[in-house]
Chains A and B, each alone.
Chain A
């Protein structure tokens, strides 16, 4: 089984907020105003937690934790929010009745309510992402780990429309889930590859026909991270980059004591 998760290496995070902006652009999040921000109605699926401790400020990127035991799914009266079989906690905007019980139940505050109808400047409208639904007023929304990108990768794998790098790691006896997991891991390793590593690589090797657009199969925040601090992948695959990094001694999770079992793992800053 696939269990999508994320590792956030705080040593590499520069708090540049590229992930925040990339998420908003990718997921059609309405552009708010300053007044809206002051009123506490800004929507931002990806955000930076500000922790002020021992005289120094720590910044932690905060997507949805995609808990294995999500309190929000437990309390939803109509099943509008649900945990998919691959571990992603998703939201069905057509089903949501807007009671906001999930926002009360979530300890991480990652759920956002649409207080008004979404709106954009006219010049922006043609850049809206057609693969992500626009949410009407009165529904709750949240980070989906860019589930539409994963779905697109799955579709492309099943039609064989993928670069040879991915085709090489996916074998015929694998299930579609396993293939997707391997493909994401390949993309992830390519994404964090340093330039000298690329130069030293054998031209016969996997990366020769690699177009950078292929990296857009990865979640938007991961793709845009300037310090390559965000690592996405399958936590159930012991060989994947993300599950190897999650074994680090620096690893910790937010509010572990609440028993939500989050799938976003932070790596503590070195001192």
Chain B
């Protein structure tokens, strides 16, 4: 037994395939950085965006990355809360996908905005709770916080074992193990902490995807977007695309790390059944959406629907539908539902889901110009190579995060699958596990309080038109006023950020007595 799982603590060097992958990823990311630099210097003119198609594949990418972030923390916390033993080996892979894809989602929004540095400074400083982007930023930070906390806490027992081994990164491992020894009290503490984080994660994940759907659902000006189905639709879409990416990644990791015994075919077939449920749910939602539009036949909506079902975008729509239907049929028949079929069907679903994101964003916007003017152009959108490079770069970024993670840390939650090991070496730091857990919890609590105060202060002080009074302009005749309520709210935000950071740092680095 000892020998059996010891190998997972040695992620080891790079094989030839890993080196080749790393090289390709770095080349793609370098090209994407070059494209981004071009976009930053020349403005968004280098993209294919225009009026009325003001959002393009950056927005589709954002929605897609948000949706695959559903995979990890949500699926692994559901598995923890329902005590599904067969799902345990894949939880860590899923959690890393969550953190990586959330980072890539944030990056894609930064590709999309016109003023990158203004966005980075002004959203924290002047963010408005009335805007869908405001909710999305809040919930994204929340989800990233819980996702990182979840990943980090679950890693501690494995890192502690790795700290005792000869490695180039042993300094990192001995830093991150805190005072973990592997005794019963600590294990109990860790498991209850993880349970609390898992419970927190579920509503946060649901809100994350709902709010992303509401960015579209709240826009009354765009035909077919203004629909109550958007929030639930995005949740089921997120479950579907997230799970299919988890299946594909687990299959690759099982192949590269020879984990056939730990992740048997049985696991994949179970995951395939889950995928089938989400597939049927998604098809049902697609039917519900299409029926409402086609039967009610509001002239603006039907134009968009015809554009995507029989018009220029019909190949894409039918491709999505065909992929989803074929995948559900294959997974529905028990004899066909094999390990290989599950992988193949996930690989078919994932790109189809990306195309579906494009189909949510584009047809509505192409018909957004409801009052065509003398100077408006024929609505069209052709992405340029800059957009494709940045898209490829963000996928490569996610892959790079995954690759580096599996080379640094154990790819399985070894302590959950094989049982907790007593550590051979003594911990070098004396930050207690309790302090770490308290740090994450209070981070989440402080963020909640911060958001609550933000919302309340926006409502109390500023009201709906919070920006009525300040107009700082270059024109010499413009009024330059910053009203006192605005100053108060801005100051309160900043004060709260500082207090929250100080609190988290204090708890994290508090020294145990003695």
Contacts and interface: CB of A to CB of B under 8 A. Distances in A.
A138 interface: yes
Contacts of B115: 96-98, 138-139
A75 B467 CA distance: 12
Contact of A106 (B45, B221, B469): B221
Contact of A78 (B127, B371, B373, B476): B127
B107 to A, nearest CB: 15
B373 A99 contact: no
Interface in A7-66: 17, 20, 37-42, 44, 47-50, 59, 62
B12 to A, nearest CB: 44
Contacts, number: 214
Interface string B336-368: 000000000000000000000000000001001
Contact of A42 (B54, B370, B377): B377
Contacts of A71: 219-221
A113 B137 CA distance: 23
A41 B130 contact: no
Contacts of A95: 118, 122, 126, 472
Interface in A81-133: 81-85, 90, 92-101, 103-109, 112-117, 130-133
Interface stretch (A148-156, A157-165, A211-219, A243-251): A148-156
A79 interface: yes
Given A40-B53, A77-B134, A99-B113, A82 B465 contact: yes
A222 interface: no
> How extensive is the interface on chain A, given as a class?
35 or more
Given A50-B372, A77-B133, A41 B475 contact: no
Given A78-B126, A133-B474, A62 B45 contact: no
A201 interface: no
Q: Among B52, B112, B131, B222, find the residue whose CB has the most chain A CB atoms closer than 10 A.
A: B131
A74 interface: yes
A174 interface: no
Nearest to A259: B220
B49 A42 contact: no
A90 B471 contact: yes
A254 interface: yes
12 contacts: A17-B374, A41-B45, A49-B371, A71-B220, A73-B467, A97-B119, A97-B123, A101-B132, A109-B368, A133-B474, A133-B475, A137-B43
B54 A132 contact: no
Given A94-B473, A97-B114, A79 B467 contact: yes
Contacts of A147: 478
Contacts of B476: 130-131
A183 interface: no
A92 B481 CA distance: 12
B15 interface: no
B468 A148 contact: no
Contact of B475 (A73, A115, A132): A132
Given A40-B378, A98-B118, A131-B476, 14 more contacts: A40-B379, A62-B373, A73-B465, A75-B133, A79-B128, A79-B467, A98-B119, A99-B119, A101-B132, A113-B54, A114-B43, A116-B43, A137-B42, A139-B115
A76 interface: yes
B114 A49 contact: no
Contacts of B43: 114-117, 137-138
Given A90-B471, A105-B221, A112 B51 contact: yes
Contacts of A90: 471
Given A101-B132, A114-B114, A37 B375 contact: yes
Overall SS of chain A's interface: loop
B461 interface: no
Contacts of A50: 372-374
B187 to A, nearest CB: 44
A84 B218 CA distance: 24
Contacts of B113: 97-99, 138
Given A117-B43, A131-B475, A109 B369 contact: yes
A42 B375 contact: yes
A242 B54 CA distance: 35
A39 B376 CA distance: 9
Interface string B371-390: 11111111110000000000
Nearest to A39: B50
Given A92-B470, A151-B478, A103 B51 contact: yes
Contacts of B378: 38, 40
A107 B371 CA distance: 8
Contact of A92 (B125, B131, B472): B472
Nearest to A137: B43
A86 to B, nearest CB: 10
Interface in B106-148: 109, 112-115, 118-119, 122-123, 125-128, 130-134, 137
A93 B45 contact: no
A104 B54 contact: yes
A134 B474 CA distance: 9
B22 interface: no
Interface in B171-230: 215, 218-222
A82 B467 CA distance: 5
Contact of A93 (B368, B467, B468, B473): B473
